[in-house]
Amino acid sequence: MEAFRQLAQQKMCKFWTTPADLGSVVSRSLVKLIKTNPAVGWVKADLLPTENTTLEILRLRQKIEELQIRLAESEQYSGAGTEHLAQGDDKIELSYRFSVRNPNSYKDRVHYVGQFEITWNRLFASVSPLLIDEASDTSFKRALDELVMQETLEARKRISAKAEKEGRIVESFTLEENDFNTIKVQLIGLKLIAKSTKRKVRGVSDKAAYWSLTSYGETVMINLRAIPKPTV
């Protein structure tokens, strides 16, 4: 008993002799304990939320989460915030490389650089179907090289005709690498493409970047490429 008394007196301890003293000591001790050791549990009963209040808080939290999801989706399905970027019928000047060589020698060749203009809508309409699923950097660049071939058809005919007279051949029409990177950055900025998260089965050594259309990009592609119903 004496050992217990000594242990108890190491904590907050008050002494009393009469029942009246006990009530007074307990009330004063509780007030002191609340001030010296504030805790979550020390809440007045009239400040506790009612069941209806708790349910209302939960309902409002759910509503906030739903609105946040809808906001994220609306941003994804629109080009909001891209008004300051070149797009649509705005034009971009692209550079391409080609070489003219002696058909009898791979070393006897001369490299040239040319330019042409194209709208962002035409560029995106051309390559976007490739990105419906996903495409690697290499495939993406190859599609743009094919676009270069299409857009420079007349120039290639003139260059080839001149080269043939000189007994030479024209080859390797490719988009400049710097312009390729600019196109990727612009399409990302316009929220039309993003890095692919589909993770197809690939080899361990495959470190290439893969790209796919965003939901907004799909909408833009459909508007540019889908065939409208004939008007009567």
Report the pLDDT value the prediction gives residue 109, as an integer from 0 to 100: 86
The residue assigned the tokens 């692209």 is 94
Length of the chain, in residues: 232
Report the pLDDT value the prediction gives residue 202, as an integer from 0 to 100: 60
Taking the CA atoms of 45, 51, 55 and 56 in sequence, report the sign of the dihedral they define: negative
Which tens digit of pLDDT belongs to each residue from 171-188?
A: 888 999 999 999 999 999
DSSP secondary structure, 4-19, as one string:
HHHHHTTSS----SSH
Which tens digit of pLDDT belongs to each residue from 7-25?
A: 888 877 888 888 888 888 8
Count of helix runs (H) and strand runs (E) in the chain: 8, 6
Report the pLDDT value the prediction gives residue 231, as an integer from 0 to 100: 79
Q: Centre a 10 Å sphere on the Cβ of residue 24 and count the other Cβ atoms it contains.
A: 13
Taking the CA atoms of 206, 209, 214 and 218 in sequence, report the sign of the dihedral they define: negative
Q: Which residues contact 118 (CB under 8 A, 6 or more apart)?
A: 91, 92, 94, 147, 151
**Token pair in block for residue 7:** 């242990």
* Mean pLDDT, rounded, of the chain: 86
pTM score of the predicted model: 0.64
Strand (E) or helix (H) holding 144: helix 137-151
Half-sphere exposure of 187 (CA within 13 A, CB side): 29
Angstrom distance (rounded) from CA 194 to CA 185: 10
117 close to 93: Cβ distance less than 8 angstroms? yes
Which tens digit of pLDDT belongs to each residue from 193-219?
A: 998 866 555 666 677 889 999 989 999
Which tens digit of pLDDT belongs to each residue from 137-159?
A: 999 999 999 999 999 999 888 88
Report the pLDDT value the prediction gives residue 19, as an integer from 0 to 100: 82
Report the pLDDT value the prediction gives residue 72, as an integer from 0 to 100: 67
Which tens digit of pLDDT belongs to each residue from 42-74?
A: 666 677 677 788 888 888 998 888 787 767 666
CATH annotation of 91-199+209-225: 1.10.10.10
Which tens digit of pLDDT belongs to each residue from 77-133?
A: 567 788 999 999 999 999 999 999 998 887 888 888 999 999 999 999 999 999 998
Report the pLDDT value the prediction gives residue 90, as an integer from 0 to 100: 97
Predicted confidence (pLDDT) at residue 192 exceeds the cutoff of 80: yes
